[in-house]
Chain A
Amino acid sequence: MILVVFFLVILNLFLWAFAISDSVGVMTKRRLSRRRKIMATIIAVVAALSILYPVTSMVGGSLSSKQVSRTVPEVKPGNFFNVIKVMARNLVPIEGKRINIKQNHIDDAVSTLNVKNIRLETAPYSVYEMEIDGKLMHVAKIGKAGSQWIYLNERDLDEVHLAVPASEEQRVKAVKFTWTNYPDALSKGDFGRYVINSIILVVINTIGALISSTLVAYGFSRFKFKGRNWMFIVLLSTMMLPAQVSLIPSFIIYTKLGWYGTYLPLTVAAYFAASPWNVFLMRQFFMGLPLELDEAAKIDGCGPMGILMKVIVPQSTAVMLTITLSTAVFWWNDYFYSLIYLQDQKLYPVALGLTAFDAKYFNNSSLKAAATVMMLVPPIALFFFFQRFFIQGTVISGVKG
């Protein structure tokens, strides 16, 4: 509802601007168009501000430090219970799942917590899913202590989780300007390592995509051989193939090969022209290059490989840059594949690392904001400086694909 209203307001604004610029019919054409341009600029500013708002608030958050006061439940010394505090926001209820826990165990768990006003739930207890340090676990809600919920880990009942409701999690005392969150985020909690991991993935995949798509596109664009046309049609049709169809068997195969938990599943495919878009883009570009140069090189004694290296590649820096940029941004942003194939947190790239970081430093929003900003800046900067190449890629694959 609200969104629709919000949307209609923008729509109105837009139409209204045109109505005004049109209704003044007496104006000369030049002034009319100037007026329209001013209107358009104003609308662009409004749109840009609303798009930038979440980003700027994140940047603002990353540049401040908040002094917060928290109510931290004390844990009795010398007990075997492991008390972990999490945020209620990270908990997702599992529908219809309830478990029973022995009463004496619950008494033990509750006695661990040195908090008063404990209100226990009655069995069976409802089960929630939550993420701690990037791992999903199931916890049972057994009661409430003050403003905090108490959870027991379903697998390891010696683990007590205290969940602070999101809104009461922190009371902000003061906000101070500081830039130290950035170095802190890089040095604390492995975020610096995630960045390096991502760079490694980006470099390996980009090199693979460039080499393989150049070779394949060269093959498809400059040679005539039996089955070329239908093979190219097969290549084009794989563009529309949803990744999920081959995802599960690939996962099984990689696991059987012992590649699970390494970078191999994420990188090897790039060396075998895994992205038909890249091949298509490259082939279209090669088709547009003049054949005369090829022939001249051939007369000079170049073989097919020589022509590729000395004639084609030097002319194709533009399309190569397009592919480099799109591959780099894709792997910098990748979440899905790394989520599936990586297990060790030390190998996480930034996107997956950010979620782990988020779970680990759930109560330090400034630190999280700094990490988020560091993750979003590189692609935006690349786009700003190389717009032309990004847009070429998008338009060709979007319109002609």
Chain B
Amino acid sequence: MAKDKRLIPQSERYARWGYAFIVPWVIGFLVFTFIPMVFSMYLAFTDYDTINPPKWIGFSNFVKMFTKPEMWHSLWITVKFGIMSLPLGLVAGFMLAYLLNMKIPLMKAWRTIFYLPAMISGVVVAMLWRGLFDDQYGMINFVLRTAGLRGPQWLLDPKYTLYCFLFLSVWGAGGGMVVYLSGLQSIPTAFYEAAEIDGCSKFQQLIYITIPQMTPIFFFNLIMGLIGMFQYFAEPMVLTKGGPADSTMFYNLYLYRHAFQFRNMGYASALAWFLFVIVLILTLLVFKSSDLWVFYESEVKK
């Protein structure tokens, strides 16, 4: 409501200009989002291989999706990987942000290095790491050998493939750092001053001030990260293609396979809609939790 006051009263003529300016988005929304969504809804109830016309098959795609184990398998892989990697990435990203918040010299260089994994393409990330996973010449197994352990065949043994991606995600934890850093910088210094007067150590300040103040951002990033898990594609595609034995068949990869390799467009649309429902639930979770961070924002920004 405060926003409306900022606007100059515009005549009817200017309202028309307003419509004119947003026309590109309206067209874009209709053509690239809305119509495809409706079409996708229809496709989910059909059998369509892009050559023959779509055939209406009712709920069979959904029945197939929920009764066959493959979809549940890839959903489980995705969620399992999220549960393993997101907390690790969160702690690692927060640590990096905490480090940078201490105003150490060469800030610009550190920030570039820590943020580097988030800037490069997933394909490059996969290429960088593939060599390190080699069971004979790879760095990881070299370290393990030196420590007297026998390293596994990382990318070939279905028991270990998912852990390879864990390396990648912890390595890329700097991506969340920037948001944490801005969160850290917006915690009022008065809190720390008060704590210092009360004789709190820096460690106590971290536990009792910084982390509680940061929880909303943590939570938000966790949910966003989980949504991001469902878009995870380039790294598994380049490193393992979902194999061996489907051990890295992430949801998006599974969807891609059905849509663009097997051309099961109907089934893939059903998969996409199920994905949409999951993401919607996660998003609602963020908004439900917004009480937490509305309080936080009003508290911080005067």
Do A and B come together as binding partners? yes
Q: Are A215 and B21 interface neighbours, CB within 8 A? A: yes
- Give the residue name and chain of the B residue nearest to A48 (CB): B113
Residues of B within 8 A of A287 (CB): 3, 6
Q: Which residues of B contact A352 (CB under 8 A)?
A: 123
Is A212 part of the binding interface, using a Cβ–Cβ cutoff of 8 Å? yes
Does B131 count as interface, using CB distance less than 8 angstroms? yes
Q: Are B128 and A219 in contact (CB under 8 A)?
A: no
User: B179 near A394 (CB under 8 angstroms)?
Assistant: yes
CB of B233 within 8 A of chain A? yes
CB distance from B138 to the nearest CB of A (A): 10
Give A351-378 interface residues, CB cut-off 8 Å to B.
351-352, 354-355, 358, 365, 368, 372, 375-376
Please give the distance in Å from B302's CB to the nearest CB on chain A. Answer: 16
A272 in contact with B32 given A51-B116, A294-B8 (CB within 8 Å): yes
Set of chain B residues within 8 Å of A47, measured between Cβ atoms: 95-96, 99, 114
Pick the contact of A215: B7, B24, B182 (CB < 8 A): B24
Q: Which residues of A contact B122 (CB under 8 A)?
A: 333, 335, 351
Q: How far is the CA of A252 from the CA of B263 in the complex (A)?
A: 11
Contacting pair A273 B28 (CB below 8 A):
yes
Chain B binding surface SS class:
helix
Count residues of A near B (Cβ-Cβ below 8 Å). Answer: 109
Interface string of A376-393 (1 = CB under 8 A from B): 100110111001001100
A-B CB contacts (within 8 Å), total count = 308
Assess A223 versus B18: contact at CB under 8 Å? Given A93-B244, A380-B112.
yes
Task: Provide the bound-state CA to CA distance between A358 and B168, in Å.
Answer: 20
Residue B56 at the chain A interface, CB threshold 8 Å: no
- Cβ-based interface call for A18 (8 A): yes
A272→B259 contact, CB < 8 A: no
Does the CB pair B33–A340 fall under 8 Å?
no
By a CB distance below 8 angstroms, the chain B residues around A53 are 139
Contact with B along A1-43 (1 / 0, CB 8 A): 0110001001100110011011000000000000011001101
- Residue interface bits A218-253, CB-to-B below 8 A is 1, else 0: 111011111010010011001011111111111111
Whether, in the assembled complex, B62 has its beta carbon less than 8 Å from a beta carbon of chain A, the answer is no
* CB nearest to A330 among chain B residues: B121
Q: Which residues of B contact A379 (CB under 8 A)?
A: 119-121
- Chain A residue nearest in CB terms to B19: A225
B40 and A354 form a contact (CB under 8 A): no
Cβ-defined contact, A43 with B123, below 8 A: no
Stretch at the interface among A54-62, A112-120, A152-160, A177-185: A54-62
In the complex, are the beta carbons of B25 and A212 less than 8 A apart?
yes
- Would you call B144 an interface residue if the criterion is a C-beta within 8 Å of the partner chain's C-beta atoms? yes
Contacts of B27 in A (CB 8 A): 272
* Contact pattern, A 193-208, Cβ under 8 Å of B = 1, otherwise 0: 0000000000000000
A95 touches B276 (CB 8 A): no
Most buried by B among A19, A129, A351: A351
A222:B7 contact, CB within 8 angstroms: yes
Does chain B have a CB within 8 A of A329? Answer: yes
**A interface footprint on B185-201 (CB within 8 Å = 1, 0 otherwise):** 00000000000000001
What A residues does B230 contact at CB under 8 A? 242
What B residues does A10 contact at CB under 8 A? 92, 95
Q: Are B144 and A2 in contact (CB under 8 A)?
A: yes
Chain A nearest CB, measured from B25 CB (Å): 4
Q: Are A242 and B279 closer than 8 Å at their CB atoms?
A: yes
Closest to A32 in B: B202
Distance A253 CA – B30 CA, assembled complex (angstroms): 13
What's the Cα separation between A294 and B7 when bound, in Å?
11
CA distance A398 to B178 in the complex (A): 9
Given A3-B167, A242-B275, A242-B276, decide whether A355 and B114 contact each other with a Cβ distance below 8 A. Answer: no
The residue on A at minimum CB distance from B180 is A398
- Kindly identify which residue among A52, A250, A255, A358 contacts B127, using a CB–CB cutoff of 8 Å: A358
Beta-carbon contact of A92 and B33 below 8 Å: no
Q: Complex formed: what's the CA distance from A332 to B21 in Å?
A: 29
Q: A11-B95, A50-B171 are in contact. List 16 more A-B contacts (CB 8 A).
A: A3-B88, A40-B99, A54-B132, A55-B128, A226-B15, A234-B29, A241-B33, A245-B40, A246-B40, A248-B265, A272-B28, A351-B234, A380-B112, A384-B109, A387-B111, A399-B182
The 8 tightest CB contacts between A and B, nearest first, are A272-B28, A223-B18, A219-B21, A333-B121, A246-B36, A249-B39, A249-B36, A219-B22
Chain A interface (Cβ within 8 Å of chain B)? Answer: 2-3, 7, 10-11, 14-15, 18-19, 21-22, 36-37, 40-41, 43-44, 47-48, 50-55, 57-58, 61, 89, 92-93, 95, 129, 136, 166-167, 212, 215-216, 218-220, 222-226, 228, 231, 234-235, 238, 240-253, 255, 269, 271-274, 279, 287, 291, 294-295, 304, 329, 332-336, 339-340, 350-352, 354-355, 358, 365, 368, 372, 375-376, 379-380, 382-384, 387, 390-391, 394-395, 398-399
Query: 11 interchain pairs (CB within 8 A)?
Result: A2-B144, A11-B95, A44-B100, A216-B24, A219-B17, A243-B231, A244-B271, A271-B24, A333-B123, A354-B127, A398-B224
